[in-house]
Structure 1
Amino acid sequence: MTKLVKPVIDSAWLLRWWYRHQAQWLNREADAIRNGLLQDLFAVRRQLELLPGDGGLAAVEHLYQSLETLGNRLSSPYLHDSLTLAIQQTLLDWPPQVATRAELPTQWPTEPVEHTMLLLSVLKHLGQALAAQPSLPQGCVVSLAEYSDGKRLTVSVNYEIAVPLALLDLNQSETWMAYLTTFGLFSHGQASSTHETATLRWIFDW
């Protein structure tokens, strides 16, 4: 007897499931790099340190750093443990020309893995968008705050004269709209932005 599978009607639940599935897969791949290849390279590096000359050691060190960076790009090592540490690690990978400061609490409740990964993806996209502008910000502050009725991630960007017009139009881009819509589905929260002449803020509440 053929039994048909009843389709899932809850599209928000299905989207969260797929995103969580992808996040967990990327995390496993990144862990395999960190706990496999990097450990093997570390052992080789230790052996090379005992040999005369440093040509081989420099090559291994470069490969080690490249693999470590790749693993961190695939998935933050703090994905399951700490949103604050994951944000700090993500900001370290921002383009160096974007001056950034983090204002994060030392303690933070554990977030669902798909929610943390989405927030990190949003920050990565913002870092690239800021670096692509003809004028760079004087400073960018990323902050987390917890209130009695919810939580908030704020990205505040300050310019010397005026916010670039392209950034004001960012909310209309297909990629950014997809991020904001997914954030709303995952967290049942809300994303918004405010701007003054030389200041632009993105606010994520959940």
Structure 2
Amino acid sequence: MTKLVKPVIDQVWLLRWWHRHQAQRLNREADAIRNGLLQDLFAVRRQLELLPGSGGLAAVEHLYQALDALGNRLSSPYLHDSLPLAIQQALADWPPQVPTRAELPSHWPAEPVEHTLLLLAVLNHLGQALAAQPSLPQVCAVSLTAGSDGQRLTIAANYASAVPPALLELDQSEAWRAYLATFDLFSQGRASSAHGATTLRWAFVW
């Protein structure tokens, strides 16, 4: 007997499912690198250290660091455990010419993997975009708070004299608006931006 599968009508639900599925897949791949390949390489490195004149040690060390960085790009090692630690690691990977200041709580309730991955993607995109501007911020302040209106991630780029016009144009770019709309859709929250004379601020509330 043939059983017909009822087609999915709710497209929003379907998009959320695919995003969650992809986030979990990337996380599994990153865990496989950290718990498999990196552990094997660590054992090889230890064996080479014990051999006299082990010229291959530098190559193994380079490969180890490359795999470690790849795993972290695929999925933060803190994805399951701590959103504040995942944000802290993401900011550490920002271009060094963009100074940051983070105000992150030491304790935070567990977030869905796909939600944390989306926030980290937003941070990564923003860090690269700020670094590409003709003038750099004095500091980019990042804070994570919880209140009566829900959880909030705030990112504020502060400039010495004025917010660069190119950055205001970036804030209206197709790619950035897509990030904001994706956050709204997948988190069922809301993303917004506002700017003053010397500060451009983004807020993500869920």
Shorter-chain TM-score above 0.5? yes
Who is 1:105 aligned against? 105
Could you tell me how far apart the structure 2 residues matched to 1:200 and 1:187 are? 23
> Is residue 147 of structure 1 aligned with residue 147 of structure 2?
yes
Who is 1:21 aligned against? 21
Deviates more, 1:73-82 or 1:170-179: 170-179
Could you tell me how far apart the structure 2 residues matched to 1:27 and 1:63 are? 20
What TM-score does the superposition give when structure 2 sets the normalisation length? 0.95
Q: Trace 1:15-164 onto structure 2 (pairs within 5 A).
A: 15-53=15-53, 55-164=55-164
Q: Share of identical aligned residues, percent?
A: 79
C-alpha deviations, 1:56-97, integer Å up to 9, x for none? 222211111111000000011111111111111111111111
Deviates more, 1:40-49 or 1:50-59: 50-59
Could you tell me how far apart the structure 2 residues matched to 1:146 and 1:36 are? 36
What TM-score does the superposition give when structure 1 sets the normalisation length? 0.95
Shift of residue 102, structure 1, vs aligned partner: 1.3
Aligned with 1:101: secondary structure?
Answer: strand
Aligned with 1:133: secondary structure?
Answer: coil
Shift of residue 98, structure 1, vs aligned partner: 1.0
Who is 1:190 aligned against? 190
Could you tell me how far apart the structure 2 residues matched to 1:169 and 1:178 are? 14
Could you tell me how far apart the structure 2 residues matched to 1:171 and 1:13 are? 28
Could you tell me how far apart the structure 2 residues matched to 1:2 and 1:69 are? 48
Aligned with 1:55: secondary structure?
Answer: coil
Shift of residue 169, structure 1, vs aligned partner: 1.8
Could you tell me how far apart the structure 1 residues matched to 2:31 and 2:131 are? 29
Q: Report how many aligned residue pairs link the two structures.
A: 206
Moved over 4 A (4+): none
Gapped regions of structure 2 (runs ≥ 5): none
Could you tell me how far apart the structure 1 residues matched to 2:138 and 2:51 are? 47
C-alpha deviations, 1:89-112, integer Å up to 9, x for none? 111111111111211000111111
